[in-house]
Structure 1
Amino acid sequence: MKKLLLIAFFLGSLLGYAQEDAWVYFNDKPNAQTFLDNPLTMLTQRALDRRTAQCIALTVSDAPIEQSYVNQITAAQGIQVKAQSKWLNCLHIRGSFADIQSLIGLPFVNHIKFANHSLNAKMTRPKAIIPVNKQMDVQTTFAYGNSTNQVQMLNAHLLHQQDYTGSGKIIAVLDSGFTAVNTIIPFNRMFNNGLYLGGYNYVGGNTDVFSTHNHGTMTLSCMAGFVDGQLVGTAPDAQYYLFITEDVSSENPVEESYWVQAAEEADRLGVDVITTSLGYFGYDNPSYSYTYADMTGNKAFASQGANIAFSKGMIVIASAGNTGNTVNPHIGVPAEATHVLAVGSVQFDENYSAFSSIGPSFDGRVKPDVMAKGQSATLSNTNGAIVTASGTSFSCPIMAGAVTSFWQAIPWATNQQVVDFVKQSSDRFTSPTNQYGYGIPDFQSALSIAALSVNDAALGRFLVYPNPSNEFIAASFPNGFDTAVLSLYNNLGQMILEQEIISNQQLSINHLTSGMYYYKIKSNSLVQSGKIIKN
């Protein structure tokens, strides 16, 4: 009996005093209207302009967290506040199970979610902590090369030839550190032309982003690097913010909170594109880790933040991951998010890289979305030498720079339209696979598709979007049309849906299986047909 009591006491002690990570969510933002009435206290003018251009309204999620709530949580016994998210109205905290659990009694606390999933249902003995390295591994050689293959594979050089090099667009890079970026030759052009706008180290809580780690240096060089005759990034004239959200010393879910906090700052600053070569799946503490069943598009904390970032008018691009030849080959967080453009890796000859993580997501969506060169990609190391390295860490920024340059070419487009055009230009768009997704985009083709969509509007045609789609489709009407009948057909020609709609009305297709469908829109004498892909 004494032995049993002793064991019970030991378990209780572990649960009471072991440090746990959790998110505490609040009920409301009592002062939100004050901020909504004065939006420049929350967002820059550029951020407001980006939303206005895409008809995106301000919401309560844009208002900051109630400071009195933050103060009370900070002052609570045994609690450390590690990060915060205004979009999700929560704080990332650390403390003992008992101290965290006691916060539920505060009247403004809605609920608490532990990173250790088992603690959300019942108290269990913590599992042994085994160090995990979840950063996208890279394999570097020191042979010189040039970036012709990785740029021309996407026809991004044709964007550059038309003077679409990312000028006027802003990219936020979320990574582990940008060692020596401010001193080495491949980034001289970025600094000399005033393209570096600032940065922040969320892990260290300071503005030092140039002396922590080399991974971000390499990824940034794929977009912003410039050494004539050796390396030209895919967006050499874009402007950049650099944010450190990855703690290389340990693997803990607080990094997801740092990630979301950085995305919120990117939104505030008016950023157009977020690119991140980080992935979250396994943590040092296995109780915090995800499983494939969690990859449903909006469950993980960082995936939720990424989807909200998209809803604010930004494009979020993420590495698919490097686990394709492991026992857990599928994409991770936030690449698996519903509205993230996940980028896998191919070789110089456009064949699949064996390490590139595969799809689909657990709920059956196409992932990765697109592919770019990630095996033996050309980039800069922290000494300024032009080298090659492998990983989706590099296919991601190569793609992100190309997308940014493309968006410069079609400034009238929304983020959803840009993503749609990129996918539609890809070489496997009509027959996506688990390895390639929709395939390798052709940005010259994407320009042509975008031009046709403009012509459609000018010629009085309907524009059906998004395409491909996960959840719904809608159609924007030309002037003079109030209603139309939208019909959907399967590949056997059988009508499976028919409904009268108004312009931009969302029509759910959640019940449809993945694949290609045919649509017909009819209004008065105008009849239009086309294809739509359901993820």
Structure 2
Amino acid sequence: MVRQNYENDVRRTALWLLASICVALVIGTTESSAQQRANYRITFKDKGSESFTPDSPSYRSTLAEFTAAALERRQRTGMDPVLTEDDRPLSSAYLTRLRNLGIDVLTESRWRNCVLVNVDTLTANLLTLLPFVSGVHRIAEVHYTTMAVDCNPARPGASARQLDLLNIGPLHRAGVFGQGAMIGVIDNGFRWRSHASMQHLDVRETYDFVYNDTIVSNEAVDVFNQDGHGTLVLSLMGGYAQDSLIGVSPFSTYLLAKSEDMRGEFRVEEDLYAAAVEWLERRGAAVITSSLGYRYFDSTEASTPYSAFDGRTTFASRAVNMAVARGVVCLTAAGNEGPNARTLITPADADSVLTIGGVMRDGEQWPGSSHGPTADGRIKPDFMALGTSVIGAGIGFPSYVSVSGTSMATPQVAGVVALLRSLYPEARPWELRAALTASSELPDTMDSLRGHGLVDATYAAELLGPGIAPPTVVRGTDGSQLVVVTIFNRGPVDPVLIIGNGAPLDPIQRSHPVYVFSVDPATIPSPAVEGLIFVKGRSRPVTIPKEGNAIVCGSDVPNVVASIPSPSHTMARIAPSILSAGQRDVRVLDAGMTPHTAFIIDALGRREEVGIDAGLDIILHIPHLAPGSYRVILAGTTVLSLPLIIR
């Protein structure tokens, strides 16, 4: 063993020396070369071997860096000890090795265990050889949000009812689709890559707890429909297919965990479920949702007595309670054993979990929805969503199916939580729960069958306000860059836009909840400038390009011009022009051609010709139109189709 350890140490030392020599040689030969340098994020494999316990010198010196207010805030969230491994400083040995190689560290992140450096491409590639480096990623100079290929306003088609019952439309129209929120989903598998509605999904990680691999779609040993249920569940949050299915939070980031074995009902699945919860919490999920539950198993395994459904006894309930204590919002399905009482499945009984039941399309109670009380007398479910004739993704033909069950209701409310997380990333689980309760049908009481009832996603966002939606940037008719933002709050607010060290800019248009700022392109350095929108102690960054438009897909942008991607404005995204009823001139930027014909098509397919002036910019003379959705068609060497909304 001693000899083996010695040989391993020699091997590691040799690799380190070789990598260091390679990097040093490259740096020495490229300092005077013309290779383009860029910013790279260097992630370390660990933080070294130094102890970081409350009685260690490193812990005490780190603690001294925090203000009293910061420590009090952490204590209020229940952190004990108040510092974690994430707060531990980066390894001084690793930083020294980088500096000895002539690499200057621009900034550090303890939480992400990484540094930012500015090097050329060859050096960046060779840095991956260093034994303490786990990843090297280039940082883009300007980031534009790219959502879906089709950037028209969301058209949910047959899935509209499930969104309407939770009043999600105003959030989607403001460009809030769950961006930045990480959702962990536990189910029987996920066939998301091959379905048209989920091609865009940002799936960060996957893990199969049944076979201990990373494959969460069907494997050879699985039954035919193993991943059907999970695919449906995922699509109700992540689906985005115009006129067929719009999920509640289609642009969130997802972690997918397969814990259910469809070959039978086995007690071990509850352990796999608990392991999945722990994994998702470690991997950074802000929301964990599951449409699984445990009570009855195959004949050879004993069922769980209802007396254990007291919210803190079963393995599954304890797992979700611990996740909530660590800041995760957990949701689970009530079960489909109604209308009788005491028909819950675990972890629907858990103290801290949001248990979701189902309603019918008219909002009335679905008889099949399970309910409590729990073994210790608490009312469950907590909230409701559509549980019958829910439109979701199928794994075969047809591509979209109508299904029922509290399994389908649960991901809808999980998506609502993700929308709120997107607007309020700093909100704590109990604050989100309080907002959902206050927005619900029964904010001050609970019904034994439906808890607080349906939630109102938009009202919950306003109650937590002010919440700043992702800003959009478009070209105004006077050539200015217009920053348009929707702010969710219970009343009008006074936001300001700050760019660099400049004076705060006030909105030029206040039509709550929409606010518009105007920025002179002459004040914007090429290619873009970073700004911050501030309101009541909250802020949201915005990238303002000197030219062209960066538009969040589906945003409801008032009184601005149409824009399309083009060779010179490749970062533009097709978004609707929003015009008031009446004659209006609309400028089309960078069409890439000179159209000879323009006309408007309404929702019924009726066509009307549009006057056109084709000079440096293309000016369309929009006739008086009734409020509604239209498409502007430009015909020249090619044909362009632009969305238009008349109010």
TM-score w.r.t. structure 1 length? 0.57
1:50-449 to 2 correspondences below 5 Å: 55-57=77-79, 146-178=158-190, 180-190=191-201, 195-211=202-218, 212-285=226-299, 288-325=302-339, 329-383=342-396, 385-449=399-463
Does the 8 Å CA contact 1:145/1:388 hold for their aligned counterparts?
no
Residues 32 and 208 (structure 1), Cα distance of their counterparts in 2 relative to 1, 3 Å cut: farther
1:451-490 to 2 correspondences below 5 Å: 451=465
1:366 to partner: Cα distance: 2.1
**Larger Rg, first or second structure (1 or 2):** 2
RMSD: 3.1
1:213 to partner: Cα distance: 2.1
Residues 59 and 431 (structure 1), Cα distance of their counterparts in 2 relative to 1, 3 Å cut: same
Does the 8 Å CA contact 1:159/1:406 hold for their aligned counterparts?
no
1:329 to partner: Cα distance: 4.7
Report the residue type matching 1:372 in the other structure.
A
Report the residue type matching 1:376 in the other structure.
S
Q: In the aligned structure 1, how far is the partner of 2:279 from the partner of 2:53? A: 16
Report the residue type matching 2:464 in the other structure.
A
Does the 8 Å CA contact 1:54/1:313 hold for their aligned counterparts?
no
Report the residue type matching 1:299 in the other structure.
T
Q: In the aligned structure 1, how far is the partner of 2:50 from the partner of 2:332? A: 31
Residues 172 and 53 (structure 1), Cα distance of their counterparts in 2 relative to 1, 3 Å cut: farther
Residues 344 and 206 (structure 1), Cα distance of their counterparts in 2 relative to 1, 3 Å cut: same
Q: In the aligned structure 2, how far is the partner of 1:150 from the partner of 1:225? A: 13
Residues 205 and 58 (structure 1), Cα distance of their counterparts in 2 relative to 1, 3 Å cut: farther
Residue deviations 1:222-281 (CA, integer Å, cap 9, x gap): 000111111000001101011011111122221111111111111111110000000111
- The aligned length equals 330
Residues 52 and 244 (structure 1), Cα distance of their counterparts in 2 relative to 1, 3 Å cut: farther
1:207 to partner: Cα distance: 1.1
Give the structure 1 partner of residue 537 of structure 2: none
Residue deviations 1:182-225 (CA, integer Å, cap 9, x gap): 112111121xxxx1112011011111111142110000000001
Residues 444 and 53 (structure 1), Cα distance of their counterparts in 2 relative to 1, 3 Å cut: farther
Residues 172 and 32 (structure 1), Cα distance of their counterparts in 2 relative to 1, 3 Å cut: farther
Gaps of 5+ in 1: 1-30, 40-50, 64-143, 459-535
Does the 8 Å CA contact 2:266/2:301 hold for their aligned counterparts?
no
Q: In the aligned structure 1, how far is the partner of 2:441 from the partner of 2:245? A: 26
Does the 8 Å CA contact 1:219/1:397 hold for their aligned counterparts?
yes
Does the 8 Å CA contact 1:56/1:313 hold for their aligned counterparts?
no
Residue deviations 1:264-321 (CA, integer Å, cap 9, x gap): 1111111100000001111124763122222111000010000000001000000110
Q: In the aligned structure 1, how far is the partner of 2:293 from the partner of 2:376? A: 19
1:482-521 to 2 correspondences below 5 Å: none
Gaps of 5+ in 2: 1-48, 60-72, 86-155, 219-225, 468-488, 494-647
Does the 8 Å CA contact 1:182/1:210 hold for their aligned counterparts?
no
1:417 to partner: Cα distance: 0.5
The secondary structure found in structure 2 opposite 1:288 is coil
Does the 8 Å CA contact 1:145/1:386 hold for their aligned counterparts?
no
Report the residue type matching 1:341 in the other structure.
L
Residues 363 and 452 (structure 1), Cα distance of their counterparts in 2 relative to 1, 3 Å cut: farther
Q: In the aligned structure 2, how far is the partner of 1:452 from the partner of 1:393? A: 32
Q: In the aligned structure 1, how far is the partner of 2:331 from the partner of 2:291? A: 9
Does the 8 Å CA contact 2:442/2:452 hold for their aligned counterparts?
yes
The secondary structure found in structure 2 opposite 1:412 is coil
Q: In the aligned structure 1, how far is the partner of 2:402 from the partner of 2:206? A: 26
Report the residue type matching 2:304 in the other structure.
Y
Q: In the aligned structure 2, how far is the partner of 1:272 from the partner of 1:54? A: 19
Q: In the aligned structure 2, how far is the partner of 1:53 from the partner of 1:390? A: 43
The secondary structure found in structure 2 opposite 1:189 is coil
1:174 to partner: Cα distance: 0.2
1:59 to partner: Cα distance: 6.0
Residue deviations 1:130-157 (CA, integer Å, cap 9, x gap): xxxxxxxxxxxxxx96211101111112
Does the 8 Å CA contact 2:239/2:247 hold for their aligned counterparts?
yes
Give the structure 2 partner of residue 113 of structure 1: none
Residues 348 and 206 (structure 1), Cα distance of their counterparts in 2 relative to 1, 3 Å cut: same
Does the 8 Å CA contact 1:217/1:382 hold for their aligned counterparts?
yes
1:56 to partner: Cα distance: 4.8
Residues 304 and 230 (structure 1), Cα distance of their counterparts in 2 relative to 1, 3 Å cut: same
The secondary structure found in structure 2 opposite 1:424 is helix
Residue deviations 1:369-428 (CA, integer Å, cap 9, x gap): 000001110101013711110000100001101111122122231111001110121102
Identity of aligned residues (%): 31
The secondary structure found in structure 2 opposite 1:147 is helix
Q: In the aligned structure 1, how far is the partner of 2:184 from the partner of 2:364? A: 29
Q: In the aligned structure 2, how far is the partner of 1:405 from the partner of 1:32? A: 40
Report the residue type matching 2:211 in the other structure.
G
**TM superposition outliers: structure 1 runs of 4+ over 2 Å:** 31-39, 51-60, 285-288, 451-455
Q: In the aligned structure 2, how far is the partner of 1:423 from the partner of 1:32? A: 46
Give the structure 1 partner of residue 570 of structure 2: none
Does the 8 Å CA contact 1:346/1:372 hold for their aligned counterparts?
yes
The secondary structure found in structure 2 opposite 1:173 is strand
Report which of the two has the higher share of helix: 1
Which shifted more, 257-266 or 168-177? 257-266
Does the 8 Å CA contact 2:349/2:374 hold for their aligned counterparts?
yes
